[in-house]
């Protein structure tokens, strides 16, 4: 598996500083969509289509689902996100 170092973090930071107004989290999607609808002045909260809702039925933390090699790879490439958003402690 090839993971680009240019994913994620570099899209919303400059010189290691977050330069966007808000980071929305998928795990809080309903709350985030309500916030965005309000912020944009939308008349109602958009309803997103549901795809692959049964693809991942096991919602345990990633550390409980992956091999140690897979965890090491993710932690190597996404160390900043894991620390910044406190995913390392979940």
- Cα distances (Å, whole numbers) of residue 66 to 25, 56, 82: 21, 13, 16
Report the SS3 class of residue 77.
helix
Compare 41 and 82 and report the one with higher pLDDT.
Answer: 41
* Range name among 7-11, 56-60, 75-79 with the lowest pLDDT average: 56-60
Condensed to tens digits (0 to 9), the pLDDT of residues 33-74 reads 999 999 999 999 998 887 766 776 777 877 788 899 998 988
Q: Which pTM was predicted?
A: 0.63
Question: Locate tokens 């930071």: which residue?
Answer: 13
Q: Is the pLDDT of residue 85 over 70?
A: yes
């Amino acid at each position: 598996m090839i993971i680009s170092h240019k994913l994620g973090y570099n899209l919303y930071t400059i010189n290691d500083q977050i330069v966007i107004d808000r980071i929305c989290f998928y795990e809080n999607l309903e709350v985030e969509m309500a916030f965005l609808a309000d912020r944009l002045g939308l008349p109602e909260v958009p309803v997103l289509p549901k795809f692959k809702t049964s693809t991942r039925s096991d919602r345990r933390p990633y550390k409980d689902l992956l091999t140690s090699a897979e965890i090491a790879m993710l932690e190597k490439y996404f160390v900043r996100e894991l620390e910044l958003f406190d995913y390392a402690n979940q």
